[in-house]
Amino acid sequence: MKKFSITLSLILIYLLAAPLALGASQAKIHFPDILGYKTLKCDFHMHTVFSDGQVWPTVRIDEAAREGLDVIAISDHVEYQPHKQDIPMNHNRVFEIASGSAKKKDVLLIKAAEITRDTPPGHFNALFLEDIEPLDTKEFLDAVKAANEQNAFVFWNHPGWKPEARGWFEVHTKLYKSKWLHGIEVANGDSYYPDGHKWCLEKGLTMIGGSDIHAPSMITETTPGNHRTMTLVFVKEPTPAALKEALVKGRTAVWYKNKLIGKEDFIDAVFKASVKVNSTQRKGRRKVMLEVLNNCDLNIELQRAGEAGPEELLLMAGSTTVIEAKVPRDTKQVELSYVAKNMLIAPEKGLPVKIVAVLQ
């Protein structure tokens, strides 16, 4: 009777989630292509009923298409299979089930799995796997080695989710020195991990953000105020090989709540490609009005770092903001210095930016 109840519950969850996933049109996420690269919107961390998630694999594809994602990886736990009495423990089956739907929905699906151990060492996702079965082994290091033998991209999930075991331990040093660790989640779901952010900068590891979603997604429209945590990856072309190359090279940024997190050169490029002065107007000899467009999906929070312009500014996503500033008499160019507080280039460090306009 218990087995029947569990199976019935899973069927009901699928039936409830499927209409939601199928019933909405595909959203658009607005972040610009930068530095000659195409920007892909990616989520590399999610679960289905094949581990401890609550949906069938194809529902994850439907959700991704609805929310405007370009790439996903379904990363079910290798070791943790609470539904194994109802669903066979075939680790490769999830990718097989979801692949057809991914092609129809134009979502790039990456074969992946989560290596799940106590903290330390913690949980690790492996992307671009050929066969998940070799990762199902007793020893943690053997599992990570098996992933690397398939040239997988391996990242450390939610590094601070257990405060009592927070930190960089000897096992992480071993992974790093062996070149078996390639990235860290600096944001996972509703949590940001400044230690993970710092370690990525110090050790040259790739910054990742993921939803780690288990339940059905209730997002019907991706907006600046309502979106899943995701990774922006800057690729040469939208192919698995180019995606992997970009991840290995660390060409990413993380969209987490109303923050964009990443290395300064990429975050700076996003700002410069997103924020444009559309028009200028003189108001007498000392005042100017600037009409500034922000065409990305981040509400950019600015704090004045120079002498001119309002002390604080909010450039709303997809909107135009009018800025009034005092300038020297008869100046030909306006240069407003700010710090974008929610574009983090290090923990608690915003991106220095300038808004520049030539006056007629």
- Percent of residues in the chain assigned helix, strand, coil, to nearest 5: 30, 35, 40
DSSP letter string over 161-182?
SSGGG-S--HHHHHHHHTT---
pLDDT given at position 1: 43
Query: Span 2-262: which CATH code?
Result: 3.20.20.140
Lowest mean pLDDT, pick from 19-33, 51-65, 112-126, 227-241: 19-33
For residues 211 and 230, is the Cβ–Cβ distance under 8 A?
A: yes
Q: Where are the beta strands (DSSP E) in the chain?
A: 38-43, 71-74, 108-116, 123-127, 153-156, 183-188, 191-192, 206-210, 230-235, 252-256, 259-262, 275-283, 287-294, 300-304, 312-315, 319-326, 333-346, 349-358
pLDDT tens readout for residues 319-357: 999 999 988 887 888 999 999 999 999 999 999 999 999
Question: Hunting for tokens 């439907």 — which residue is that?
Answer: 62
What number of other Cβ atoms are within 10 A of residue 249's Cβ?
A: 11
Q: How far apart are CA 124 and CA 119, in angstroms?
A: 11
218 pLDDT higher than 60: yes
Q: Quote the mean pLDDT of the chain.
A: 92
pLDDT given at position 25: 54
pLDDT given at position 330: 77
Pairing mode, if any, of strands 252-256 and 259-262?
A: antiparallel
**Greatest mean pLDDT among 78-92, 249-263, 329-343:** 249-263
190 pLDDT higher than 60: yes
pLDDT given at position 291: 96
Residue 199, C-beta contacts closer than 8 angstroms, at least 6 positions apart: 159, 168, 184, 205
Q: How far apart are CA 4 and CA 17, in angstroms?
A: 20
CATH 3.40.50 describes domain 273-358:
no
23 pLDDT higher than 50: no
Pairing mode, if any, of strands 333-346 and 300-304?
A: antiparallel
pLDDT tens readout for residues 149-166: 999 999 999 998 888 888
Q: How far apart are CA 72 and CA 285, in angstroms?
A: 54
Q: How far apart are CA 66 and CA 219, in angstroms?
A: 8
pLDDT given at position 2: 41
pLDDT given at position 3: 44
Confidence of residue 246 (pLDDT cuts 50, 70, 90): very high
Q: Record the tokens describing residue 35, joined without a space.
A: 């530095």
Distance in Å from the first CA to the final CA of the chain: 79
Share of the chain above pLDDT 90, in %: 81
| Domain ranges for the chain | 2-262, 273-358
Average pLDDT over residues 121-132: 97
Cα–Cα distances in angstroms (integers) from residue 205 to residues 64, 168, 181, 208, in the given order: 26, 14, 8, 9
Q: How far apart are CA 158 and CA 210, in angstroms?
A: 9
Q: How far apart are CA 208 and CA 247, in angstroms?
A: 9
Q: Which residue has the higher pLDDT, 104 or 281?
A: 104
For residues 301 and 317, is the Cβ–Cβ distance under 8 A?
A: no
269 pLDDT higher than 50: yes
Task: Identify the CA nearest to 115 among candidates 132, 99, 100, 98.
Answer: 132
Q: How far apart are CA 172 and CA 121, in angstroms?
A: 7
**Burial class of 298 by CB neighbour count within 10 A (0 to 12, 13 to 18, 19+):** buried
Quick one: how far is CA 151 from the chain centroid? 22
167 pLDDT higher than 60: yes
Q: How far apart are CA 102 and CA 355, in angstroms?
A: 41
Beta bridge partners, 184, equal 156, 207
Strands across the sheet with 275-283, in order? 275-283, 287-294, 319-326
